[in-house]
Each structure stands twice: as structure tokens, then as C-alpha cells.
Amino acid sequence: MFIRNHWYVALWSKELTRELSWRTIMNERIALYRTESGSPVALQDSCPHRNLPLSKGKLIGDIVQCGYHGLEFNSSGACTKAPGLECPPTWAKVRSYPVVERNNWIYVWMGDAQLADESLIPSVFGNMSDPDWHCVIGDIHVKGGYRLIVDNLLDLSHLAYVHGTTTGNPEVAELADLQTDATDESVRITRMMRDVVPAPAYKYYGNYSENVDRWQVTNYYAPSYILINNGSYAVSDRPATPVDAATERCHWGFQVYHAITPVTENQTIDHWCVALEQHMLKPEDRELWESQMINVLREDHEVYEAQQEWIEMRPENNNDVLTRGALPGDRALIAARQIQRRLHNLEARSAGGKAENAALATSR
């Protein structure tokens, strides 16, 4: 179930160069490159002549030359040269996608280009480019649908069972007070744990020798962006006025960002970043922290692919409404699935309306 009228991360800024590359988003293969002045370009990766991917061709200045029979296209997808012809034929053009570079990511608009609106890009990933923050980044290529990843990040009770050697312990599942808030296109779930034993990573990096107050706040921005704010302090340092768990990091904590890009119905690339303020990590601990965070993502990856295998055997288990019931911690992910369903239906209705109008116009 795709939602097309949105921005999706195609790749990291540092991956986009003067070499032609390509990515698949929602079953569409897209050729990507930078112009000589550094601007990102995204074109349909298929030559309109005989379908060779344009990314197999050559970049000449800002022009892409197809590697089969030499048609040339500019960065807006118009054909500028057809070898042997005075004028390029009218059919020789490729789709050009709106593209924006921000927060170390290259975002591509996958829907109706007239609706592309940069203000829809979540503005919460700014710490990725702040030198006061230490970032571990990566991609995981998941053989699983993108909604499994959103589900995972909206129910962090799983840390107790999936990440028990680092960020999780039983308290995360058993002693959290939950609050879920949803708007038309976002969901926030706050998990507050008071006076709990710190999980192994908290104890080590936060240097705690007593119980802590700890919080996790997951923010979901439809269709596929996540910001998680994690924070903690020792119970003896508990401030007189309650903290704002959505932004506060206090003594020790970190943020997690995910840009989750559907490749096909059953494949996804999760572009992730774990960021914490430089002073929260001793230089000698960096390597250990980075390897632990990479491993945390690997642990989740295994879960997604095992779920997907089961779903492919029994597709009816991939419903929005869980077939065998829900737990209290599922409230947020069910709210997210309702948003996804609503956005999808809205698009389907408006596409249906447009098709109907076009049919009426041709029948007149």
C-alpha cells in the first residue's frame, strides 16, 4: 500500500555525485546525479526508446546520453538530441521528479509533481548536520514491507526482548507509562519509566550507579519518517518540574532518525541515524557505541524478515487491524496504520476522479 504524494529519501547526500546512479522507490527505478553546479537531479531511469536504464549511459556536462542509441536528455527530462534527426521526436522525453537536498539526505517526490511541497519534509533531523552531535548512520536493506519498520519503532517495548544487551531491559516493557497522541498525519507515543534499573547501555555510557527515570518518545510523520527522543537522569537528580520528554535529553540520552523508503511492496531501505551530543560519549567509547548501534539495527532487521516470511505465507496476517488482537502498546502503530490507510484511500479516490474526468473528456 503506497502513498505517492510525499517525499521519500532516495540516498544520502554524500552518495550523490557526478556519476550516474539509481535507486528504486515504490517500484519506480530512478536515475540520479548532480549537475555541474551541484544540484540534484532525478529522472525516470528508462529510455523512452528501448527502455535501457539511463543510468547505464553517460553524463556529458548536465546531459544524460543513453548508452544504447545515443538519445540525450537534459535535467528536466527533455530530449535535446536524437542522433541522425534534426529535431528530437515528441515522444522522446522522460519523467523528471521534484528533488530536494536537506539534512544529509536527497528527497524525491514520488507523486503528482504539481503537489510537491517542500514544507512537507519533516524539519526534525537537523542534529545530523550539527558538529556538536555524534552520528552513527547506515542503511538496512530489508526483505520486508515498510510498515513493519514503522510498527517496530512505534512500539519500543521490544527493546526488552530484542535489544536486551544494550538499550533494553525488562523494565522497558513492564514499567512504562504510555501516552499516545495522534493528528491527521502524525503519531506520538511517550513511554515514561520512573525509578527503574538502567538498561546496560544507559548504565555504561550514563555512568549510573542507581535507578533512573527514563523516557522514549517516538514521533511518526506519515508516511515513513521517525524521530525518537531517548533521555534519562538519576532518580536523585530528578528535577522539581517535570521534563519535556519530547525534547529533553538531560543527563544521558540520544536521538534516533529513520527515513523508511519502500522499494517494492515487500522490500524497504531504512536510512537510519543515531545521534547524541558529543559530550555524552567519551572518545574511547565511540567504537563500541557505533558497533552496538549497528548491531541494534541488525537485531531489528532479523525480526522484520522473519515477520515478512510469515506474511508471505499468510498474507491475511498483514491487516491494519491485527488479526489476533492488540496489546496496549499497539495503540500508536494502529493509529499510524489508520493514517496510512486514509492517505492511501484519499490518493486512490483522487486518481480515480482524475481518470473518470479524462474518460469523460475523451468520450465527449
Sites of contact with Fe ion (CB under 5 A): 300
Estimate to the nearest angstrom the gap between the alpha carbon of 207 and the chain centroid.
Answer: 32
Residue 138 C-beta: closest distance to Fe ion, Å: 14
Using the rule CB under 6 A, is 49 a contact of ligand FES? yes
Please check whether residue 10 is in contact with residue 107, taking contact to mean a CB–CB distance below 8 angstroms.
yes
Chosen from ligand FES, Fe ion, none, partner binding at 173 (C-beta under 5 to 8 Å by type) = none
Nearer of residues 48 and 122 to ligand FES, judged by Cβ: 48
- 84 is written with which cell numbers? 541522425
Residue from 68, 101, 104, 124 that binds ligand FES (CB under 6 A)?
A: 68
CA distances from 306 to 37, 73, 130, 296, 301 (A): 44, 43, 36, 16, 9
Element (H or E) spanning 233, and its range?
Answer: strand 225-234
Element (H or E) spanning 138, and its range?
Answer: strand 133-142
Q: How far apart, in whole angstroms, are the C-alpha atoms of residue 176 and residue 299?
A: 22
Residues contacting ligand FES: total by CB under 6 A: 9
Using the rule CB under 6 A, is 52 a contact of ligand FES? yes
Nearer of residues 57 and 253 to Fe ion, judged by Cβ: 253
Residue 49 C-beta: closest distance to ligand FES, Å: 3
Please check whether residue 336 is in contact with residue 220, taking contact to mean a CB–CB distance below 8 angstroms.
yes
- 317 is written with which cell numbers? 496476517
Nearer of residues 47 and 227 to ligand FES, judged by Cβ: 47
Chosen from ligand FES, Fe ion, none, partner binding at 141 (C-beta under 5 to 8 Å by type) = none
Using the rule CB under 6 A, is 50 a contact of ligand FES? yes
Residue 67: how many other CB atoms lie within 10 Å? 15
Q: How far apart, in whole angstroms, are the C-alpha atoms of residue 257 and residue 275?
A: 8
Annotate each residue in 70-89 with x if it binds ligand FES (CB under 6 A) or - if it does not, as one string.
xx------------------
Using the rule CB under 6 A, is 47 a contact of ligand FES? yes
Nearer of residues 151 and 300 to Fe ion, judged by Cβ: 300
Contact window for ligand FES (CB under 6 A) among 49-57, 110-118, 208-216, 279-287: 49-57
Q: How far apart, in whole angstroms, are the C-alpha atoms of residue 296 and residue 289?
A: 10
Q: How far apart, in whole angstroms, are the C-alpha atoms of residue 262 and residue 3?
A: 10
Chosen from Fe ion, ligand FES, none, partner binding at 300 (C-beta under 5 to 8 Å by type) = Fe ion
Nearer of residues 71 and 296 to ligand FES, judged by Cβ: 71
Chosen from Fe ion, ligand FES, none, partner binding at 297 (C-beta under 5 to 8 Å by type) = none
Q: Is residue 49 exposed (0-12), middle (13-18) or buried (19+ Cβ within 10 Å)?
A: middle
Q: How far apart, in whole angstroms, are the C-alpha atoms of residue 99 and residue 2?
A: 19
Residue from 30, 66, 116, 297 that binds ligand FES (CB under 6 A)?
A: 66
Binding stretches for ligand FES (CB under 6 A): 47, 49-50, 52, 66, 68-71
